[in-house]
Amino acid sequence: MSEQAASYQAMPSLSPYVGTDRYDHPKEDHKFIAEQLRRFVDVDRPMRVGDLGCGNGELIYFLKSQFPHWEYSGFDYTESFIDAALSFEGLAGVRFRVQDLLDIAETFEGVLCTGVANIFPDVGELLDKLLSVCESGGWVLIDGLFNRHPVDVRVTFRDNSFPESQGLWRTAFNQHSRESITTMLRGRVRSFEFVDMIMDKDLPFDPAKPAVNSFTFRAADGHNVLTNGLNLIVNRTLLAIEK
């Protein structure tokens, strides 16, 4: 893992990505990603798709149900997440590898990267990598907390909810401004677009989960707002890039 992301800790014992119960209950984010793919990608065309930071492969599993003619590969540096993916028969035939995404050398026509950008204090290194593994004419989908305002935010936190994380300072929930990302991408890609990810499903606070996990509350306009134990407003955004 790169030095700037080294303070991120996956903590498999506290993670949902070591189980199998999530495969048949797709996240709202994953449904949204499939909708956006249908909007700007020729989804009928067979293609090679790489999921960088795939966790237990639950996004790949959902996309396989929507686009079964694609060839999928998943990469994650946390071995227990990849073990979970390999042990799930619904992902048979998908290639999974334990690997730091910044060390991937092969290329794909489609590149996915979800739940990863916010662990990087500086997203430039990650964007460079995603573009390098995407073939010309291909696409990249990356989600993050891409701030509408010209402000980049670095977050360091300590979650004392569980013995495994007590006293350990970690980084995540970093916000990268759309202005900074636009500067990084301008002139390097054919097009790119920021798409707000709206959470209309209620996610109640669960005291049995780590305090950093997300839950929702209702805003004055009736929409759900994501927050977490860091007391942050989590404005999720999808960045769609055509290379």
Q: What is the DSSP annotation of 57-71?
A: SHHHHHHHHH-TTSE
Predicted pLDDT at 25: 84
pLDDT for res 213: 85
Class of CATH domain 3-146+174-202+234-242: alpha beta
pLDDT of residue 23: 84
Distances (CA, A) of 38 to 17, 34, 67, 142: 26, 6, 10, 16
- Among residues 102, 103, 100, 17, the alpha carbon closest in space to that of 61 is found at 17
> Diameter of the chain by CA atoms?
49
The whole-number pLDDT of residue 9 equals 66
- Structure token digits, residue 170: 């970690």
Q: Rounded CA gap, 225 and 243, in Å?
A: 32
Q: What residues of the chain score a pLDDT lower than 70?
A: 1-10, 12-14, 16-19
Q: What pLDDT score was predicted for residue 26?
A: 86
| CA within 13 Å, CB half, 232 | 20
Question: Residue 57 in contact with residue 85, Cβ under 8 Å?
Answer: yes
Taking the mean position of all CA atoms in its chain, how far away is CA 49?
15
Contact between 235 and 147 under an 8 Å Cβ cutoff? The reply is: yes
Torsion of CA 117, 100, 79, 98, to 10 degrees: 120
pLDDT at 6: 47
Measured over the CA atoms of residue 97, residue 63, residue 200 and residue 52, the dihedral's sign is positive
Amino acid occupying residue 76: D
Nearest-Å Rg of the Cα atoms of the chain is: 17
Q: Are 77 and 101 in contact (CB under 8 A)?
A: yes
- Specify the pLDDT at position 2: 54
